[in-house]
Amino acid sequence: MALPRLKYHLLALAVVAVWGVTFVCTKVLINAGMEPAGIFTIRFILAYLGIWVFSLVRSGRTKIWSANWKDELVFLMLGVTGGSFYFLTENTALAYTQAANVAFLVSATPLLTILFTLVYKRFGKSRFARGLEEVRVGLPLIGGTILALTGMAMVIFDGTRLQLSVKGDLLAVGAALCWAFYSQFMGQMARDYGAVFATRKVFFYGLVTILPFLGNCTGSFSTAVLGQPEVYLNLLFLGLIASLACFIGWNLAMDKLGNVSATNYVYLNPVFTLITAMIFLGERMTPLAAIGCAAILAGVVWSGKSQSR
């Protein structure tokens, strides 16, 4: 692995590590009385304000609109699939099932991304299809995927954390579908407009499209809830680190590595969620879960050999 690409692999790994922590943070906020839509709204308001400050400090001025209305519609779609609907389904799932279960199901995203990429490369004719990775269906892809899935099953379904909820699980699968769809287009938009501009547009349209869901979110904006240290500290982490910094980093990684190679790191989400739960929620890592963590990492490395730019 060449050194210039290595730093983007490390960036993708760091982003996924932070995002693995967010499942526990969001669960804490829900337990404190916040609603899923309200958590997303405050999180993205902080991120949106932060990215405007970052853009203005860096360049002094920044453009508002994309080059044409078609690209603006693409950003709207990305704001829905990578913003409002993704987090609404994920956050709502956390209200019905365990954080580790949601992390496991959302980690189906790489498989869905590969499937979408294979179909879109076959039938798509736009610049987005040309910008996607070439995926070779062979032993590395199949074997690495099976190994990573086996590892995730060992981590989550080891008999100590399994609590199934059909509604929560289906919502988590919906989140995975949203993110896989987002991955098909965001890399190309980041190449065309830059990671900062593209990320800012996603934040904006995410906030616009969440507005219809805020009718019953009075608890999320009450001073009694927001005044709790565990609430505002988690919100600051989610908004400024997990959203502002990590979205820019992730979009940059997808640009440099490709949509499939970057998304493969999502397989590691349950590992970081479990580690966080051990530290803050007192959960223990069983020997089976430890073996599963190693299997996930090996599967990510192996399946990555099936992609080329």
pLDDT grade for 1, boundaries at 50, 70 and 90: very low
pLDDT digits (tens, 9 = 90+) for 3-49: 467 888 899 999 999 998 988 898 889 888 898 899 999 999 999 99
pLDDT given for residue 56 in this prediction: 83
Cβ atoms of residues 289 and 154 within 8 Å: yes
Catalogue the long-range contacts made by 50-53 (C-beta closer than 8 Å, 24 or more residues apart).
Answer: 50/239, 50/240, 50/244, 51/196, 51/199, 51/200, 51/203, 51/244, 51/248, 52/200
Beta bridge partners of 134: 308
Most confident range (mean pLDDT) of 57-66, 121-130, 223-232 is: 223-232
DSSP 212-281: GG-TT-GGGG-HHHHTSHHHHHHHHIIIIIIIIIHHHHHHHHHHHH-HHHHHGGGGGHHHHHHHHHHHHS
pLDDT given for residue 184 in this prediction: 85
Contacts of 102 (CB under 8 A, 6+ apart): 23, 90, 93, 94, 168, 172, 175
For all residues of the chain together, what is the average pLDDT?
Answer: 82
What does the pLDDT average to over 93-103?
A: 76
For the chain, the straight-line distance linking the first and the last C-alpha, in angstroms and rounded, comes to: 13
HSE-CB at 272 with a 13 A cutoff on CA atoms is 19
pLDDT digits (tens, 9 = 90+) for 144-168: 778 877 876 776 666 555 555 667 7
Q: Helix (H) and strand (E) counts for the chain?
A: 16, 2
pTM for the whole thing? 0.80
